[in-house]
Amino acid sequence: MNSLHHFLFNIYPYICLAVFLLGSLLRFDRDQYSWKSDSSQLLRAGQLRWGSNLFHIGVLFLFFGHTFGMLTPHFLYEPFITAGAKQLVAMVSGGVAGLLGFVGVSILLHRRLSDERIRKNSRTSDIVLLWLLWAQLALGLATIPLSAQHLDGSMMLKLAEWAQRIVTFRGGAADLLVDAGWIFQTHMALGMTIFLVFPFTRLVHVWSGFGTLAYVARPYQVVRNRRLGVPGNPR
């Protein structure tokens, strides 16, 4: 294991997580007016509808699938499903979601680069972010044929154990990825890089999406009619 491998999979994850959390907090505290998705729908809505919906459906499924799939200890699901079967489910469902997300981000990237008005109103970070997401989804799809070569789930278990060691601050995480192919390693390194740039891009609006869950527990609003003074009277 060389020093670059040690840095990427032992140290770099903590740098990315620290910047992701602290950067998001600082941006919310100091620059709240930039905390938005900066939609370009007013400039052209056609491709945006298809691209945005496909991208969000695919990426949200992949995000939660990766989170629960990699951070759930093997002993919790072992009585119900084997590692090989879990890997097969992940390959099929992740492949479908990845394809949806890839088509969606390709539409969004083409729209942003080909429409002169949209491109002129785009920040450099907008275009760089779309290219990063495009490459990440392409690499994710490229891992599926490699995963099909070891359907026993052995590599999946190593990747999950790496993630669990990182979040629980246990050593030796990088050693688990020595035998992983370069596509797996590049996919993981690029995924961490997306977390690194997260606070400096429009991705921060993702936090607002999670914040809307607070509305579920929010008390009902009492509406009073100014003329009648009766709560809830619609007249």
> Cβ of 51: how many Cβ atoms within 10 Å?
20
Query: What CA–CA distances, in Å, run from 90 to 41, 202, 228?
Result: 34, 29, 59
Q: Is 231 helix (H, G, I), strand (E, B) or coil?
A: strand
Smallest CA-to-CA distance from 69 within 90, 88, 85 is with: 90
What stretches of 148-217 show up as alpha helix (H) in DSSP? 154-167, 182-197, 205-211
Residue 66 annotated in ligand binding: yes
Residue 187 annotated in ligand binding: yes
The pair of three-digit structure tokens given for residue 142, joined into one six-digit string = 């490229």
Determine the Cα angle at 129 with ends 189 and 57, to 5°: 90
- How does DSSP classify residue 229? -
Residue 5 annotated in ligand binding: no
Residue 150 annotated in ligand binding: no
> Cβ of 213: how many Cβ atoms within 10 Å?
8
Binding-site annotation: residue ranges: 56, 66, 187, 205
Binding-site annotation: residue ranges for heme b: 56, 66, 187, 205
